Each structure stands twice: as C-alpha cells, then as structure tokens.
Amino acid sequence: MLLAITRDVSPRFNECEITHIERTPINLEVARAQHRGYVQALKEIGCTVLELPSEADLPDSVFVEDTAFILPETAVITRPGADSRKPETESIIHALSPYIKLIHLKEPATLDGGDVMVVGKRIFIGLSTRSNSEAISQLNILLKEYGYTVTGVQLHDCLHLKSAVTRVDDKTLLINKNWVDTHPFSGFDLIEVDPSEPHAANCLPVGSAIIFATSFPKTRKTLEERGYKIVSVEVDELAKAEGAVTCCSLIVTL
C-alpha cells in the first residue's frame, strides 16, 4: 500500500519564501485547483492520500516534502533551513508517527527535504542555502545501522537538489547539468532535460508511473521515448513559490 501525505494550500501562500526566482503574484484559487489535481493524480496512481488541512500561519506548508524524507526503515524529520518553516514539522510528526519509526535531526543541522535524493542505499544531500554539512554528518551517524551512505552535492542557481536532479529509477536520474555538480552521479544513466526547459529536472516516481509537470513537454517526450509512463499535472501556479511535483507529498510504502 502506498500512503501519500499532502497538505492543502495555506491562505497566506503569497507570503511564501522565495530565493532563486522573482516574486510574482500567486492566484490562490488556481494554486488550490492545481493542488487538487495533483492529489487526484496520486489517487489515480493507487495511493491512499492523507490530506492534512491548510496551515493559516505557515505560508509554505503545502510543500510537505521539506519536513521529512522517507526510507523503508524509518522517516527522518528534518530541520527546515528557513526559520519560518521550522514549525511545519509538528503536524507531519503527528501524521507519520502511526505508520513508521521516526528519527530527528538536531540543531545546528538544517535540512530541507527538497535537498534529499535517495537512490537505493545512497543518499545525496544538496548543499544549498537551506541545508548544511552538519545535516550530512548527523545523517551518516543516524542511518549507518541501516546501511546508508550520505554524500553532499554542490549546487548553484537553484533552490534545492531536486530542482536540479531527481531519481527516475535506481539506475537513472533526470538532470539539469548546469545547476549541479555531476561527479557524485558517475555510474548512473543521466537523462538530460531539454535545454529550453531548465526547470524540468523534477519528477516524482510513484509505483509504475512518474508524475511530471505539463510545463515541460519536450523533456516529457524524452522520458516517454525511454519507456516511462508519465502522469501529467499542472503545477505552474505552485511553481511561483519555487514548488514542483516532488514538493507536495510524502510517499510512504506500508
């Protein structure tokens, strides 16, 4: 069984944190409609969706990915890099705790889940404005008993690691090589985004399908030509808050 945890869009979504793009007005109703479409796509793929209510005082809280990352053995509760986002973890702890063992990062570590890419027993952490090397040190200790290795990756010109590269499967990554150091990914099959679609490196594999934004048709075609089943969703309004398809859910295999 696949459980997807999501959270409705905050009424203060227009006050979201912005780092690498220019702030533009967000149409709240359009953002909510797109989020509903995203939730529906998860259901159609076969997920049971736990929909948390919106958090009025937490503008970025629709992006639940940043509060935790999920492994088969445990879930790691992060410490988001932006102080305004640290309270988001509280409700996620309550949502996850009935289903999976939790472990917690501690100060001075900071980590956004968007900077975490898990591929098999390898965990890559983006060294971004939100995530630091202390998080890598703590994770290597906390996850050693499960056989994971944790490696830092240098980024530039983007918010999170998963803005620049995401897992397609355990042998294949979707990547924008202009935004990330590629040396840590030697040995993987790298599918490059179309040059005209620099933001297209974010995809969400769920079961036998991949959730992917409608905004990037050229990169979608490349994935389909490689034999991947694509489920398209509109997220361009959510993207005005530097969001993408991985950002809006936590997927737990039960």
Q: What is the pLDDT of residue 242?
A: 97
For residues 20, 23, 28, 29, the Cα torsion angle rounded to the nearest 10 degrees is -90
Catalytic residue among 16, 47, 247, 248: 247
Among residues 84, 149, 144, 98, which one has the least CA distance to residue 122? 149
**Residue 134, pLDDT score:** 98
List, as one string, the DSSP characters of 59-82.
TTTT-GGGGEEE-SS-EEE---SS
Q: How high is the pLDDT of residue 183?
A: 97
pLDDT of residue 72: 98
Residue 199 among the catalytic residues = no
SS3 196: coil
Mean pLDDT of the chain: 98
For residue 55, what is the domain's CATH number?
3.75.10.10
Q: Is 247 a catalytic residue?
A: yes
Owning domain of residue 123: 2-253
- Give residue 67's pLDDT: 98
Which one from 160, 199, 203, 248 is the annotated catalytic residue? Answer: 160
Hey, what are 201's tokens? 């490196």
Which residue ranges of the chain lie beneath pLDDT 70? none
Chain center to CA of 230: 17
Structural domain total, the chain: 1
| Predicted local distance difference test score (pLDDT) of residue 28 | 98
Confidence (pLDDT) at 35: 98
Could you tell me the pTM of the whole model?
Answer: 0.98
